[in-house]
A and B are shown apart, each in its own frame.
Chain A
Amino acid sequence: MTVKNHVLKNMYRDSVALMRLSREMEGLENVAQATAIMGTDNNKELLAQAGLLADSGKSATPNDLIVAFDLTPPGREEAVMTSVQHRLMSGRQGTSGGTSYRPRSMEGALQTLPQANLAMISVPGEHAAREARKALDLGLNVLLFSDNVPLEDEVDLKQQAISRGLLMMGPDCGTAIINGVPLGFANAVPSGRVGLVSASGSGLQQVICLLAESGEGISHALGVGGRDLSDEVNGAMMLEGLRALREDSATEIIVLISKPPAQSARDRVLEAASRCGKPCVISFLGEQEERASRGNIHMEDNLESTALRILKLLGKEPPGWAFLDDKSRKQIESIIASTDPGHRSIRGLYSGGTLCYESLFILRNLGHQAGSGLEREQVGGDLLIDMGDDRYTVGRPHPMIDFRSRCDALVQAAADPEVGVVLLDVILGYGAHPDPAAELAPAILEAQKIARNGGRRLACVVALCGSPDDPQDMDQQQKTLTHAGALVVHSNALAARIASAISRGAAGPLPGGDTRG
């Protein structure tokens, strides 16, 4: 081992340049180990610990660069230093003095990345329309994450986009996957044959996750914002999305998702879908209309039945997530047997607004007089709360990221002697909390303890919305939640039905998902 140090006086290079130099030196002949570091006393100590400090390096001052390397076998020192000098000089236009370049304007960003064709905008609502107009003027498709954008601006922006042949996703669009690129809150799902346009973020995530678990992927998933099918916007972007998917050769089945639309928007969407030439599964959540198939149109009223319909059209058998296994069924029966009928109200604590809405609709269809936190301040009875709603997120992160408000509400629910079932959703994927189960499990345990201390039993039913490839490790999430005593299923609709069964004290009608029609 022959350690050599060269001290380059008053030599300043940024970290990236020095790391690159170290790596390149270690690739040179005879160089076993190398580094380039500023000559501070503490760095000399680091070099000494690594066995790379020679006598010549000890004289370096903090403003000098020490180039240190170990030659094994000895020799070629001059060649190494010639190479170092060459690299340092050629790297004079390296990076930026400790900071990477980040454009501050859309024009600047486009100059840096001229091939970009989409702008993702997340600024306060009052500035969002202006930024979106700028992006459209620059020929960019737009995903507008911001909410609180005036409705008239949304109408205008979407008309502008249509006239330019561009997509205007949002405002208040939190989820999209385009050509496999996830934008916002999105899941790691495989590529496939199903294209989706959705006015609901969590609704979109639920459907693509159920498909992914069944081995089916998507071509594109486009979000359009929750107001797209209002009277004013009249389905403008859902129609554009439908047109785009109709022309997309990778898309074999088109899926449209929304809460109940305005009549005129509904008519326009159905008319366009019926002429698109591809099978269309349309889920207008909670519409009090029979599920039906007419021609290429397949109407569904919840997310689970939508996923099942898609799988059926693709020739797939009903998947495992649609059914309860024996263990879960026994667990439900045990809960029912040990729960006093007087203590069986349902409390839903949701992070996904559409998942909350779907559960509300299902429970009401099952005869529950369920209320939502948005409709009234309810005391007693079944109550489902969308904790991602603005009224619960003032000054706080969204509950998909920060679980404290839901954990607090869960503990509060446990203290309510009427509550026998708590319904929760856990949404995985990019942008969501990195380990939701670690946050929620302690609160579930505490809630159950509180109920036990009150002589009751509290059932926690979790709808785990995620893809097997999501970064949070879905299996581990499920294990943690199950270990805490939660009953975990992947279909939100099934979770709602389980809650209903426990609440009513009858597990009988619980086969899992149904595929009528």
Chain B
Amino acid sequence: MTSRTIYPITSIGAPIAKQLAPYGRWGTVFAVFRWSCYLETGGGQVFCLADQGLGEGPLTLGVNFPSETTFRSLGVNEGCHLDTDGVDLVVGHELVLTTAETVIWEPDPVVSTAPPDETLRRLDVLINLVNPLIPSDGLAEIIPHTVGIANAGSSGIVNMNAVAELAMPRLFRLSGGLTRSAQGVIDEAVADLVGLGPGLTPSGDDLLGGMLVALRAMQNTASLFSVDALAGCVTKHAAAETTRISAAMLEQSARGYGSAAQHRLLGCLLGVDTRPDTVNAALDLIRTGHTSGWDALAGILLGIYCGLRIGRSQASPDSAAQSSIAFSRGMAGTPA
């Protein structure tokens, strides 16, 4: 008889909670990491079992493991099934997960209360804070240039890593397409960004995910048409052109669901702003993965800048000129 180890599931993302059946097989493990594993339902929906310390997310079932416990040490391997009897869950032969303490996680909606000028100042402060820490991998190097990209200014950027150099002109195109609500341009740029870069969730995907979550949080500012167009293009291309883990996450981002860290930071940037919250929220996000958090931060910043520019464009017939002036002021405090 095999001994079983029992741990509680502390949280489950609302989107995945809605899709899981009350009885039977929830999914099969297809990728195992130290503190997380990924599963796929019979219907092809990807979700994640993870140590609760990794934070909540729309597709995550957070488990309260003791420190240093790994999935492999609990006998979880590729091909294991996750089954439920309606009360508890069993993974493989050893791991039992209880749901008595489980809460459904859903991000608090971001109430966009800050006026655009205030948001721009907050972005300036945040960029100044993180600038010395920016890594040379992935797309983090574009962070100081996000305002320029959104403003369709001259790139004038040299000495970036290969991924960032490849991404830059595509991001300019994407930004321009969003401002003009040009679906064809958006589609082309997205196709060139999805699946770009190293990692389980490629950098381009993380950036697009951050942009989408940010733009969805700016419903009162950004153009719904442009955001819907972006969401549609990202979902379409991700389904075929990136890893299935990344595609699943992007599908959620397109609906406005990001990680808890992303939502917390957006709350600080768009809503109430206090230094400890903003700094800690940014640190929480950039600690995610090797570059995933940084890439998502770049996406959030670019998303907000683009959202504000779109909003200004819509608000005024002399949109382009006015928004350029406003952004140029914002750039004064942005390191080159």
Contacts and interface: CB of A to CB of B under 8 A. Distances in A.
Interface stretch (B45-53, B148-156, B301-309, B311-319): B45-53
A397 B125 contact: yes
B53 A395 contact: no
Contacts of A438: 333
6 shortest A-B CB distances, which residue pairs?
A: A40-B195, A97-B33, A15-B199, A397-B275, A12-B31, A97-B36
B273 A396 contact: yes
Interface residues of B, number: 66
A94 B33 contact: yes
B64 to A, nearest CB: 9
A37 interface: yes
A14 B199 contact: yes
Contact of B335 (A45, A111, A435): A435
A348 to B, nearest CB: 22
A391 interface: no
B128 A435 contact: yes
Contact of B200 (A15, A41, A45, A435): A15
B163 interface: yes
A364 B132 CA distance: 41
A115 interface: no
A328 to B, nearest CB: 29
Interface string A108-151: 10011000000000100000000000000000000000000000
A62 B332 CA distance: 41
Interface string A1-32: 00000000010111110110000000000000
Interface stretch (B89-97, B176-184, B221-229, B240-248): B240-248
A99 interface: yes
A404 B199 contact: no
B48 to A, nearest CB: 8
30 contacts: A12-B30, A12-B33, A14-B200, A14-B289, A15-B289, A18-B198, A19-B137, A38-B200, A43-B198, A46-B162, A94-B34, A96-B54, A97-B31, A97-B33, A97-B34, A97-B35, A98-B199, A98-B201, A99-B36, A99-B289, A100-B288, A101-B34, A101-B53, A108-B67, A395-B274, A397-B274, A397-B278, A401-B129, A434-B128, A471-B132
Contacts, number: 176
Interface string A241-254: 00000000000000
A38 B72 contact: no
Interface of A: 10, 12-16, 18-19, 35, 37-38, 40-43, 45-46, 49-50, 62-63, 92-104, 108, 111-112, 122, 393, 395-398, 401-402, 404, 433-435, 438-439, 442, 471
B292 A98 contact: yes
B6 interface: no
Nearest to B62: A104
Given A94-B33, A99-B35, A401-B129, A14 B290 contact: yes
Contacts of B240: 62
Contacts of B54: 96, 99, 101-102
Contacts of B30: 10, 12
B4 interface: no
Contacts of B32: 92
Contacts of B66: 111
Contact of B36 (A18, A38, A96): A96
Nearest to B36: A97
B172 to A, nearest CB: 16
A17 to B, nearest CB: 9
A16 B135 CA distance: 13
A49 B162 contact: yes
Nearest to B276: A122
A35 B198 CA distance: 9
